[in-house]
Amino acid sequence: MLRASGLSCERDRRQLFSALDVSLDAGQLVQVTGRNGSGKTTLLKVLSGLYTEFEGEVAWSIDRPPLYLGHSPGVNPRLTVTENLNWLCHLQDTDPAAGDLDDVLSVLGMAGYQDTLCHNLSEGQRKRVNLARFLLCENACWIMDEPFSSIDTAGLRYLEDRMQGHLEQGGGIILTSHQRPMFAVDIQQVALSS
């Protein structure tokens, strides 16, 4: 799915990583580890095409761009959950049916929030709105920056469940997390030293 080679990146006069190779195959999970500030987020941004000040090559061979979850949930506070989700999915050329949307929201513990303005949601809830589209869209690769933070235990279990399902269906996941994802079978760890 992804072959990235020779990645070097410098930021604020610090060399974050150099000559780094990252590869992702179907059914694989890549976990990027490292201390805070070691460049984990930057690496994810390099791989997802947001950050361009790097040396090396990033070659994707999937037909749809990866789904990206960053630090900001991409949710506009003045729109309702449904409106936000519909637009975010539209960005991925997906138009979810109302029923699917309801199902996914209840799985994530957000049942009944369909018409709530995101202004009234907590940070964790907004994150879950973003996560909902991972379950609604059919993109093969998921790039997630700290997906488990701001999620409560119940939501955590569902999320891990779905991530496992995604891997079993041949998808790939690249994430940063402080804990080792126990649900995945084929894990590759990329450690960034600071």
Q: Which of 76, 116, 164, 177 binds another protein (CB under 8 A)?
A: 76
- 52 binds another protein, rule: CB under 8 A: yes
Q: Are 63 and 51 in contact (CB under 8 A)?
A: no
Furthest-apart CA atoms within the chain: distance in Å: 50
Q: Which two tokens stand for residue 10?
A: 């410098």
Closer residue to another protein, CB minimum distance, 87 or 183: 87
Task: List, in order, residues 6 or more apart from 131 with CB less than 8 Å away.
Answer: 69, 108, 147, 159
Q: Is 51 in the site for another protein (CB under 8 A)?
A: yes
Asked if 59 touches another protein (CB under 8 A), the answer is: no
**Which amino acid type is present at position 3?**
R
Q: Using CB under 8 A, which of 19, 59, 91, 154 touches another protein?
A: 91
Q: CB-wise, 71 or 153, nearer to another protein? A: 71
Q: Is residue 84 within 8 Å of residue 115, measured between CB atoms?
A: no
Single out the residue of 34, 39, 73, 147 in contact with another protein (rule: CB under 8 A): 73
Of 30 and 143, CB closest to another protein = 143
118-122: which pairs have CB atoms within 8 A and are 24 or more residues apart? 118/75, 118/76, 118/77, 118/78, 118/79, 118/80, 118/81, 118/84, 119/77, 119/78, 121/75, 121/81, 122/150
Q: Is 4 helix (H, G, I), strand (E, B) or coil?
A: strand
Query: Does residue 183 belong to the site contacting another protein (CB under 8 A)?
Result: no
Task: Please tell me whether residue 92 binds another protein under the rule CB under 8 A.
Answer: yes
For another protein (CB under 8 A), the number of binding residues is 28
Q: Is 61 in the site for another protein (CB under 8 A)?
A: no
Using CB under 8 A, list all residues that contact another protein: 11, 13, 48-53, 64-66, 68, 70-79, 83, 87-88, 90-92
